């Protein structure tokens, strides 16, 4: 599958804060399955995870679980082996 980056220009007031709700669902056999629910407060790619998830995968039969230590509420059924920090190879 492909999940393209969506870019828009927005004006944020001087005392405002950037925040976007991310909700990702998979439709399979007439069933709507949530796999990702997170607020994004960073405009950078992978900013919500503070880096790129390596070996990222989502199993549709896994339950959505709440993860901590990701700057706010985060629910996902996806998994990854580790997060490659941004700017570090």
Q: Compute the distance between CA of residue 45 and CA of residue 9 in angstroms, rounded to an integer.
A: 15
| Residues contacting residue 2 through CB under 8 Å, at least 6 positions apart | none
Q: Report residue 40 as tokens.
A: 């994004």
User: Tens of pLDDT along 24-78?
Assistant: 999 999 999 999 999 888 888 888 888 999 999 999 999 999 998 787 789 999 9
- pTM of this prediction exceeds 0.85: no
* pLDDT of res. 40: 84
């Amino acid at each position: 599958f492909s999940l393209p980056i969506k870019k828009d220009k927005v004006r944020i007031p001087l005392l405002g804060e950037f925040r976007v709700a991310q909700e990702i669902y998979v439709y399979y056999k007439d069933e709507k399955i949530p796999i990702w629910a997170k607020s994004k407060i960073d405009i950078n790619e992978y900013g919500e995870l503070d880096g790129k998830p390596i070996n990222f995968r989502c199993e549709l039969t896994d339950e959505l679980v709440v993860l901590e230590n990701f700057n706010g509420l985060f629910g996902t059924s996806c998994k990854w082996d580790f997060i490659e920090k941004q700017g570090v190879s």
